[in-house]
Homo-oligomer: A and B are copies of this chain.
Amino acid sequence: MINFQSDYLEGCHPKILEKLVETNFRQSSGYGNDEYSKDAIFKIKAACNKEDIDVHFLVGGTQANSIIIASILRPHQGVVSAISGHISTNEAGAIEATGHKVLTLPSEDGKIRAEQVEELYYAHWNSPIREAVVQPGMVYISNPTEMGTLYTKAELESLSKVCRDLNLPLFLDGARLGYGLTSPYNDVTLKDIAHLCDVFYIGGTKCGALFGEAVVISSNPLKRDFRYIMKQRGGVLAKGRLLGIQFGTLFEDELYLKICGSAVEYALKLRQAFEEKGIELYGNSLANQQFPILTNTQMDVLRKNYGFEVWGKLDENYTITRFCTSWATKLEDIEALIKDVKLL
């Protein structure tokens, strides 16, 4: 059985384990005040081509999303998100547990447009009863989105401009950022993101690390006291070195991009195979997740040898499925799957 159910099925890139073994008995300060974390921060600043950013390491995505949002909003404000956004659908109420409403915008492709944000903003501020309504306080996007789509540089610039004009911090959830940056369809760089977003994170858990997300804060007002809120919400690891070592390794010689790049390459080959077979794909995913719409028979056939996820029923006959590649996916496995798709 070869599994394509998610991008967190394996441990981590072997170089990380090597480094953990190598450094295991060296003593270091706790809570992120260690040399490994400093080194990782140095490398991330270089990769972002931006010195005046703060970098913090958190353990996981729910934690990153709720800590970042809690650190920005005042009590009466909410966070604007696509209705399909992770914080709206699958964070178990983590945002609401910090006291804030998720203000959802309709979205067909998982992305939100600058004009939608503008419209929501003015609808609020022009309302005579605005104090009875949650005030928009920041904007959340993810790239790639939940549906695997990618923001173009033009779209991101336009969103960033509107957000800055309206004084709404722009937060980009990059849980799968490596798979977005390395898509051949992508025209956005890490540097662009560091300049256009006020805060974002570089996903580790799904992109080669054992666990961990690197939060980058570009906006000065958002930097103050961030570590307090991390600590308060359980986001400061006693052995912060673990995160430093992982991100230091991933950002050595562009390892992060290299290992994510192969995953995307494989996923797009798989996409092509489905398309050539006349099997429609749900949405226009350009990264490491693909959503073929399969018949029950097709699912039964593939299920014999492959693990994949049921995303949702489209109708009686068709089901949206999800196949994920990752940094750990082997060429031979994806080739086997493609061969079997051709035989469907």
- Residue numbers of A with Cβ under 8 A of B are 3, 5-6, 8-12, 14, 17, 20-21, 23-31, 59-63, 66-67, 70-71, 74-76, 78, 89-94, 96-102, 129, 131-135, 205-206, 210-211, 225, 227-239, 241-242, 307, 328
A47 CB, nearest partner CB in chain B, Å: 23
Residue contact B211 to A132, C-beta cutoff 8 Å: no
How many angstroms between the C-alpha atoms of A28 and B61 in the bound complex?
19
Q: A11 and B239: CB pair below 8 A?
A: yes
Q: Are B20 and A6 within 8 A (Cβ)?
A: no
How many angstroms between the C-alpha atoms of A43 and B34 in the bound complex?
34
Query: Which residues in B have their C-beta under 8 angstroms from that of A228?
Result: 76, 92, 131, 135
Cβ 8 A contact of A211, one of B76, B93, B237: B237
Q: Which of A30, A31, A100, A234 has the most CB of B within 10 A?
A: A234
Known pairs A10-B27, A25-B328, A76-B229; A234 contacts B135 (CB<8 A): no
Q: A11-B23, A17-B17, A234-B66 are in contact. Are A96 and B100 (CB under 8 A)?
A: yes
Q: Kindly list chain B residues whose C-beta atoms are within 8 Å of the C-beta of A27.
A: 3, 9-10, 307
CA distance A281 to B320 in the complex (A): 42
Give the residues in chain B near A96, CB-CB below 8 Å: 78, 96, 99-101, 134
A90 near B206 with CB under 8 A, answer no
Task: Give A83 Cβ to nearest chain B Cβ, in Å.
Answer: 11
Q: List 12 A-B contacts (CB under 8 A).
A: A9-B30, A11-B20, A17-B17, A17-B20, A20-B20, A21-B21, A59-B234, A62-B232, A74-B225, A76-B225, A132-B231, A211-B239
Closest to A76 in B: B228
Q: Which of B9, B74, B93, B134 is the one whose CB lies under 8 Å from A101?
A: B93
CB-CB under 8 A from A211, the residues of chain B are 237-239, 242
Bound Cα distance from A1 to B242, whole angstroms? 22
Q: Tell whether A232 pairs with B94 under 8 Å between CB atoms, given A10-B26, A12-B24, A59-B237.
A: yes
Q: A230 to chain B: which residues have CB within 8 Å?
A: 131
If the complex has contacts A17-B24, A30-B8, A71-B75, are A233 and B232 also in contact, measured as CB distance less than 8 A? no
Q: Which of A25, A98, A101 has the most CB of B within 10 A?
A: A101
Q: Are A232 and B8 in contact (CB under 8 A)?
A: no
Give Cα A229–Cα B27 distance, bound, in whole angstroms: 34
> How far is it, in angstroms, between the C-alpha of A91 and the C-alpha of B241 when the chains are bound?
20
